Amino acid sequence: MNIVDIFSEYYAYFLRGTQTTIVVSIITVFFGAVIGCLIALMRLSNVKPFQWFAKLYITVIRGTPLLVQLYIVYYQLNFIPYPNATFLGVELGRILPCVLALSLNSGAYVAEIIRAGIQAVDFGQTEAALSCGMTKGQAMRYVIMPQAVKNILPAIGNEFVTMVKETSIIQYLGISDLMYNNGIVVTATYNPLPCYYISAMIYLALNIILGKGLNIFEVRMKKSER
């Protein structure tokens, strides 16, 4: 069987796997951004315990393989009765442990993105805000963050593109993502190479679409600065 025959006969498997991949990526990036924001603020805090925790978190997460983190979270939390709810047609009970591990991993990288974005804003902006009578919290909220967001959002968008590819490791926990369903089709056809070509093209198409969306978003942001 060639690529066309395999896709025409087993396209439902590839579409189902793509659906799971997209859902896991969306949820992961959302929670990863939330975790990353909290860790970044702790990293920039003047409270030493917060700084130490944030540094330790980033060091541990960035210094260990994502696959190891995935297994640790899965086996550590396997006693939790996850809900049977669905999101966009995907069972949350199956993917939540994977989403948690991926979000914790993504949060460490997003934290560094946010920290770099905040520190890229000229310190004179903070001094000016404080001289106007603002507190440090108000200066961060009303002066620093609005400027930092323009640097942060494109990088977080790139993290979304990266996460679409990194979700492929959840197949090892039996989650029906694109690569897991690819394996089902390989087993059924005994012809692995065309199946991997199809999966590669799907990943490529997803990332091209996301990349184009990010480019449009960045152009609009630059226009809004004028």
Which single residue is written with the structure tokens 């590669």?
200
Q: What pLDDT shows up at residue 176? A: 84
Over residues 188-210, the pLDDT tens digits come to: 988 889 999 999 999 999 888 88
pLDDT, position 155: 78
Residue whose pair of structure tokens reads 């396997």 in the numeric block: 78
pLDDT tens digits for range 80-114? 666 666 766 677 777 888 888 999 999 999 898 88
pLDDT digits (tens, 9 = 90+) for 34-78: 999 899 888 888 888 999 999 999 999 999 998 899 988 888 876
- The more confident residue out of 155 and 204 is 204
H or E stretch covering 91: strand 90-91
The residue with greater pLDDT, 119 or 206, is 206
pLDDT beyond 60 at 226: no
Q: Which residues contact 55 (CB under 8 A, 6 or more apart)?
A: 43
Tokens coding 70? 């995935």
Query: Minimum mean pLDDT among 13-22, 119-128, 155-164, 216-225: which range?
Result: 216-225
Do the Cβ atoms of 58 and 105 come closer than 8 Å? no
* Average pLDDT taken over every residue of the chain: 83
Spell out the residues 6+ positions from residue 119 whose beta carbon is closer than 8 angstroms to its own. Answer: 44
Q: Give residue 85's pLDDT.
A: 67
> pLDDT class for 225, splitting at 50, 70, 90?
low
Which CATH number goes with the domain that contains 20?
A: 1.10.3720.10
Structural domain span for residue 133: 3-225
Domains identified in the chain, total number: 1
Average pLDDT for 130-141:
75
